[in-house]
Amino acid sequence: MSTWETRTKAVGGDRSRGGWRSLLPPISRPSPAAYIWLSYSIFFFIEPVFRHSLHYWLECLGIFVVFLAMYVCLDVIESKPVKLGILAGFVVLGVVTLPFNAGAETFFLYASSILPFLVSSLPVVVLLVVLDFLLMVGEGVLLHKSFLDYAIAAFFLLAGAGSNIFIAKQRRMHYKLQMAQEQIEELAAVAERERIARDLHDVLGHTLSVIVLKAELAGRLMERDPRRAAEEIRDVESTARTALAEVREAIGGYRAKGLGAELEAARRTLDAAGVKLVCDAMPTERMLRAADETVLSLVVREAVTNIVRHAEATECRMRLETTVDGFHSLLVEDDGRHAVTREGNGLRGMRERVQALGGRFSLQSAQGTTLRIELPVAIERKG
């Protein structure tokens, strides 16, 4: 029942109120994917199929119409209290219907499976799931149902609720990290704009004043001392060229962040995720070619993204060194509980970039994840 997890988005939620709305903002429009999970309601019709009774069929269809209306309201209504009331309605519908249709256990399953995406407090979710479980099993015992009838449903109820608790927790963590990353990027952009403003002021303020003074002096000397005026004009030209180079250097520092800046951004991102970053060696300007630095920067970014999204790590270690066989080697390893078992699009693209530069790519997942990128040094690369 992960529909409500896939339909939520962090950006744009009512963050000022806190709680679940800061993590799972209100749904703005129906999602077609939400209705895929109605397929589980087929179990409600197993018993009517074996009973050749039109009256019984009409009763079950009427109950299912009520359930379907509640399900649609759950998908389109934005109010949390109303949504929780609908889940309570599922439980009531199950209690009322279970005496004459064993398939009504499905309603209990829907309530417990959707609940983790609406309530962020783990103790509350566990308590409500346990109550739902006890209601279903207790009613089955009181009705003298076959043990197998409610035992299987009880297993799926606990399994579905448990898996969705984990999924909802992971998604909330992802949204928190996404919000923190956006805030970090915004603050970094503001700081960078302020730095550029300061640099341009420092570069141009004094220089333009000198240019104005020399230009005025050259104008006054034009008739009295043409040779001196020409020298002043040459000084103006030289000063202007120097200022232009300084401006380009300041703007260039803004556009080309480099691997060092990417590592600093990685540190901020990992700090936001509660992961300690340990860098055994930092890159230098002359150590890497521009193409190498770009690829390694992208590798660091992708590796950090995977760590904060999937690894559940507490520490990340990075090391950049030059090996004895002539390679720049970047090592990224974490102590996460969820190691990478297969390459997704990000890792595949990373491998292709590295191989395009004649490098080597290796990934190990014994304890945590260890990623090693090796690029040949410039003096040994052909072409």
CB within 8 Å of 375: residues ≥ 6 apart? 292, 295, 296, 327, 328, 354, 357, 358, 359
CATH number for position 299: 3.30.565.10
Distance in angstroms (rounded) separating the CA atoms of residues 145 and 101: 11
Handedness of CA 54, 56, 61, 62 (dihedral sign): positive
pTM: 0.44
CB within 8 Å of 243: residues ≥ 6 apart? 203, 204, 207, 208, 211
Distance in angstroms (rounded) separating the CA atoms of residues 166 and 348: 27
Sheet containing strand 276-279, strands side by side: 276-279, 315-322, 327-334, 369-376, 360-364
Residues 264 and 335 reside in one and the same domain: yes
Residue ending a domain, among 178, 208, 224, is 178
- Residue 24, token pair as written in the block: 């799972």
53-62 pLDDT, tens digit per residue, is 888 888 888 9
On the question of pLDDT at 190 being above 80, the answer is: no
Q: How many CB atoms lie within 10 A of CB 111?
A: 28
Residues 266 and 165 reside in one and the same domain: no
Residues 17 and 64 reside in one and the same domain: yes
Residues 237 and 280 reside in one and the same domain: no
DSSP one-letter string for 266-304 = HHHHHHHTT-EEEES----TTTS-HHHHHHHHHHHHHHH
Residues 282 and 351 reside in one and the same domain: yes
Residues 149 and 290 reside in one and the same domain: no
Residues 15 and 50 reside in one and the same domain: yes
Residues 319 and 187 reside in one and the same domain: no
Distance in angstroms (rounded) separating the CA atoms of residues 305 and 152: 39
Distance in angstroms (rounded) separating the CA atoms of residues 183 and 335: 26
Average pLDDT over residues 139-153: 76
- Tell me how many domains the chain contains: 3
- Domain hosting residue 213, numbered range: 183-255
Residues 321 and 332 reside in one and the same domain: yes
Distance, CA of 44 to chain centre = 38
- In the chain, % of residues over pLDDT 70: 79
**Nearest Cα to Cα of residue 23 among 150, 142, 119, 132:** 119
- Residue 324, token pair as written in the block: 């004895």
Distance, CA of 124 to chain centre = 26
DSSP 319: E
- Residue 132, token pair as written in the block: 């739902």
Distance in angstroms (rounded) separating the CA atoms of residues 176 and 308: 11
Residue ending a domain, among 128, 152, 178, is 178
Residue ending a domain, among 153, 178, 203, is 178
- Residue 104, token pair as written in the block: 């009504």
Residues 238 and 284 reside in one and the same domain: no
Average pLDDT over residues 241-257: 65
Residues 110 and 251 reside in one and the same domain: no
262-278 pLDDT, tens digit per residue, is 788 788 778 767 789 99
Q: How many residues does the structure list for the chain? A: 383
On the question of pLDDT at 14 being above 70, the answer is: no
**Nearest Cα to Cα of residue 374 among 362, 360, 357, 363:** 360
* pLDDT at res. 21: 36
CATH number for position 222: 1.20.5.1930
Asked which of 60-74, 112-126, 243-257 is least confident by mean pLDDT, the reply is: 243-257
On the question of pLDDT at 371 being above 80, the answer is: yes
Name the E strands within the chain. Answer: 276-279, 315-322, 327-334, 360-364, 369-376
Residues 29 and 121 reside in one and the same domain: yes
